[in-house]
Structure 1
């Protein structure tokens, strides 16, 4: 499994989920425009990170990233908000990550 790709997916998740969380905090928790602005910047940076993936197919990258987003969102909720996933949340996230592995790292003809 290519390390660069995995690290880029992790960075993308940090930026997208973190950015969305910052916007959420700014709006829903009334923390203000600075939080919202930081979230918008993080979300914009997320858009650039996806372009650094070694695979050239936009659809494949974004489809695979969807699984990373699902699992990363549960982890973010645990760390930032004290969310406690149940076994079905964990199973769903593991299935999504299995999908990421198949989409991104399955052998393909050259």
Structure 2
């Protein structure tokens, strides 16, 4: 149950952070306006809140592991939202990052 909760929190945090950054990008770079930027800032704040609910108490461990989720999630966001087509190296890199997440967060510890 703790594993499922942790994974769900990572996925929600990635959606909030990547989505928030995308909204800010759209607001500024694509000139969609301050409402897009404001929505992005709120989403980024939500990301910051979500990661605090991880069961592990170590900030460094949680953020290090989240980095791998961010990498894989960013590629997935690009596929779904921007029509990005990852190559085998993108996919291999994402797999390596997710393996790192598993080692950092879920390896048995004494």
TM-score by length of 2: 0.98
Please give the secondary structure, in 1, of the residue aligned with 2:85. Answer: coil
SS, match of residue 52 in structure 2? helix
Question: Aligned equivalents of 1:26 and 1:51: distance in 2?
Answer: 27
**Deviation digits for residues 34-92 of structure 1 (CA, Å, limit 9, x no counterpart):** 00000000001110101100000000000000000000000000011000000000000
Instruction: State the match for 2:78 in structure 1.
Output: 77
Structure 1, residues 13-37: CA drift from partner, whole Å, max 9, x if none? Answer: 0000000000000011110000000
Paired residue for 2:51? Answer: 50
Question: Equivalent residue for 1:91?
Answer: 92
- Please list every run of 5 or more consecutive structure 2 residues that lacks an aligned counterpart in the other structure: none
Which residue pairs with 2:66 in the alignment? Answer: 65
Q: Which runs of 5+ in 1 are unaligned?
A: none
- Secondary structure of the residue aligned to 2:57 is coil
Aligned length: 109
Match of 1:26 in 2: 27
Distance 1:41 1:103 in 2: 28
**Displacement over 2 Å in runs of 4+:** none
